[in-house]
Amino acid sequence: SEIQVFATNRHATSTPAVVRVAWAGAQPGAAAASAQAGGFQIQPKLYILAVGVAQYQHADITKLGLPAKDAKDFAAALQAQQGKLYREVEVKLLTDAQATADAVVDGLDWLQKQVTQHDVGMVFLAGHGLNDATQGYTYLPVNADPERVRRTGVPMDEFRKTLAALPGKAVFFLDTCHSGNVLGGSGKVSRSVLTNDVTGVINELASAQNGVVVFSSSTGRQLSYEDAAWGNGAFTKAVVEGLGGKANYQNTGRITHK
């Protein structure tokens, strides 16, 4: 079993201290015999919903260069873990034209139906996001309409509810505060850094109540960057390199969320 302990005061809640507790009462060879008989295997299965939008349909939403490739590269990096940490890796990949609002919500439904208490669920988002006065921080799918954000955007609350309800472990990778104007096609609306403050979203998702591990490309009023010379956005490039082995600082052969 795994026990998570949180420290909380009026300012914040800490990241969890995790302790694994193993029961050693079984007779020698019992676990192997159980596995041979088709018993439960502890090795988890990984489910990934990876979404990346660069080529927005609406003329007023600034197009990006690499989010679709970022989603593909992230999924490929985790698929390489099949047979290693995970007994199986299953991916639902939505990029550009596939990443409509309905498809993203359907992907969240798929994730919630698939993940069991023994598994891990991951969501990766790359593209534009903005704060809507009505529904808060909102991810912009490929068919987003700046004049109809409530009907065409996917609010972060959808992701929060799904990830917090997963019976297994949940990990969220958020890369949505890209540099440059979100609404720059017509010049009618400029994005200020303040309108894309994701700090509240990150804090809520990572709270003890929700228990989601969150990786974000930016916090507060920071921006996220991409450059064709890198082949990825800065965030995805760092994550993929880390998963590829560069984050193995302690030379244990294992990379954890810490």
pLDDT tens per residue across span 74-109: 999 999 999 988 999 999 999 999 999 999 999 999
Residue closest to 17 by CA, chosen among 30, 31, 4: 4
Q: DSSP assignment, residue 204?
A: H
Residues in the chain: 258
Mean pLDDT, range 212-216, rounded to an integer: 87
pTM greater than 0.85 (yes/no): no
Mapping DSSP to helix (H, G, I), strand (E, B) and coil, where does residue 70 land? helix
Interacting residues of 64 by C-beta distance below 8 A, sequence separation 6+: 53, 54, 56, 127, 128, 178, 226
Residue 179 has a pLDDT of 42
Q: Across the chain, what does the average pLDDT equal? A: 83
Q: Please state, in angstroms and rounded to a whole number, the distance separating the CA atoms of residues 94 and 110.
A: 13
Are the beta carbons of 140 and 127 closer than 8 angstroms? yes
pLDDT-derived band at 256 (thresholds 50, 70, 90) equals confident
Predicted confidence (pLDDT) at residue 67 exceeds the cutoff of 80: yes
Residue 191 has a pLDDT of 29
